[in-house]
Amino acid sequence: MCQPLADIGAVCRDLGVLLYCDATASVGGNELRTDAWGLDVVTAGLQKCLGGPSGSAPITISPRAVGVVEGRKHVEAGLREAGDPGGPGDPGDPGDEARGRVIASNYLDLAQVMDYWGPRRLNHHTEATSMLYAARECARLLLEEGLDAAVARHALHGRAMTAGVRGLGLGVFGDVAHKMHNVVAVEVPERLGAQGADAVRAALLTDFGIEIGTSFGPLHGRVWRIGTMGHNARRDAVLVTLAALEHALRAAGVAVPPGGGVDAARQVYADDAERGAGDDR
């Protein structure tokens, strides 16, 4: 789901709290207005709408949030210089108490990471330089396409996929008014059960090389997750996936309207072309 955040930032400021947003699955394919919505911290990932490899988490931090992080800043002993806030038991450091409790995990010490990124270049870890190149390429491609165009592309193909699964007689799980453009949660036909749901996923992967997601916990066996994101947010990927899903459902004994998914998705594309938005995305 894409949580409606537009009015929450003002509430958080009134209450004196920070607003954090996990935009891993949505950034690059859905509207995200960090400053206008008053988001203090936003983290993301490369592997969804940006179409990059997993393993890196872009982050943006507001001045308010930086102030909170700096309030618990301590520099580890081996890197400390005169005037740096140290650790517990440093009698010569008058700023230690003012910087708050020491963060217990070096791995999660964002204040130290910020010094690693910043002009001091204090050592925190060995950077995965290959991930930086990947992040840069993701950013380059997004700028080349244009952010608005990328969001519109994900919206178009997300609408087509949603219409397609409905055209197969399948339900859409959750609040559709606030769903992400790039993922549709599909209700598994009741007759399949959890074992049958997994068998359909396996058939899609084995026979067509298409992998759709399962769900977890109480939704396992009840919901499939189908993504239209990054490079796969395109017309041919949507239509082939719907045709393959129809075949896999028929093979599993589920009656579906012949061509219903592909026809419904194609109608979305035809309507989009009529509105002049273009049919070549």
Residue 276 CA to residue 177 CA, distance in Å, equals 24
Q: What integer is the mean pLDDT of 250-268?
A: 97
Structure confidence at residue 90 (pLDDT): 53
CATH of residue 208's domain is 3.90.1150.10
**Do 193 and 131 fall into the same domain?**
no
In a domain, 50, yes or no: yes
Per-residue pLDDT of 69-124, as tens digits, reads 988 888 877 788 877 776 554 544 544 444 788 888 888 889 889 999 889 888 88
Domain boundary pick from 108, 137, 166: 137
- H-only helix segments in 182-225: 193-208
| Neighbouring residues of 216: CB distance < 8 A, sequence distance ≥ 6 | none
Is residue 281 in a domain? no
Mean local confidence (pLDDT), 263-281: 84
Q: Same domain for 125 and 179?
A: no
69: nearest Cα among 37, 114, 106: 114
Residue range 236-262: mean pLDDT, rounded: 98
In a domain, 48, yes or no: yes
Residue 3 lies in a domain: no
The domain spanning residue 32 has which CATH number?
3.40.640.10
Mean pLDDT for the stretch of residues 176-192:
95
> Which pLDDT score is estimated for 277?
54
Q: Using the predicted structure, report yes or no on whether residue 232 has a pLDDT greater than 90.
A: yes
Q: Is the pLDDT of residue 212 over 80?
A: yes
Q: Are residues 50 and 125 in the same domain?
A: yes
Q: Which of residues 42 and 123 earns the better pLDDT score?
A: 42
The residue out of 137, 155, 188 marking a domain boundary is 137
Reference 183, options 235, 216, 232; nearest CA is 232
Contact 20, 41 (CB under 8 A): yes
163 pLDDT above the threshold of 90? yes
Q: In 196-242, where do the E strands start and end?
A: 223-227
**Within a domain: residue 73?**
yes
pTM: 0.89
**Residue range(s) defining the domain that contains residue 16:** 8-137
Q: Are residues 194 and 227 in the same domain?
A: yes
